[in-house]
Amino acid sequence: MVRFSFCGHDLVALAQGALYWPARRALIVADLHLEKASWFARGGQMLPPYDSLATLADLGALAAATDPAEIWCLGDSFHDVGGCERLPPQACESLADLTARHRWVWITGNHDPVVSELVGGETMVEAEVDGLVLRHEADPTETRPELSGHFHPKFRVHRRGRLVSRRCFVMAETKLILPAFGSLTGGLEAHHPEILRAVGSRAEALVPVRDRLLRFPVAA
């Protein structure tokens, strides 16, 4: 766990790509994209159908390690509006157990504007929590401090002749974008113009590594 400060709040960047908010005992994740593989399978592109199980196993392990009172999912938790209905039984059981153990809030996203009541939890378009706005996609016009997802940021660097890629957080003065937590998600370069359009040009990529938080300035 690596602590850092954002707009007066002490937060913890987790190497798994999640955020922990100690003052609220809140675990925050973005872009699970559950049932992405089955969505592609419907179009004839067959992928291993285990992405939801892997993502929920990782989330369950992280919840067990951090013991949060509440879990916030910042949109695109399902890859499409029918994703919940396609969850395999074991994934349904895992998700039902998680939503029963914690206060669980689904923030809706562009992939999942509606979240089925079958999975439990509360559903919101966005929320303001202790001065922080939680939404799916960063709003460039928003002046309040904001947590969001959507862009799946990654930081890539060439090291010893190899391209090393790590999911990262992107932080600006009042914006913090979380990486995608899902097991079957790609990502945008942290300095991608769309990310910088959302957060402003003065931003940095935060890469949690063991007991350190590496910081890299990003620019278009």
- pLDDT tens digits, 174-217: 999 999 999 989 899 999 999 999 998 789 999 998 889 999 99
Tokens of 38: 């089955």
- 114 — pLDDT class (breaks 50, 70, 90): confident
Residue with tokens 């954002």: 6
pLDDT value of residue 220: 61
Q: What does the block give as tokens for 41? A: 């399978």
CA distance 43 to 25: 40
Give one word for 131, left, alpha or beta, with left for phi > 0 and alpha for psi -120 to 50: left
**Predicted pLDDT at 206:** 97
Q: Is the pLDDT of residue 218 over 70?
A: yes
Contact assessment for residue 180 and residue 190, using Cβ atoms and an 8 Å cutoff = no
User: Would you state the pLDDT for residue 116?
Assistant: 82
Say which residue, 192 or 43, is predicted with more confidence.
192
The mean pLDDT of 61-79, rounded to a whole number, is 97
| CA dist 42 → 32, 37, 47, 81, 82 (Å) | 19, 9, 10, 14, 12
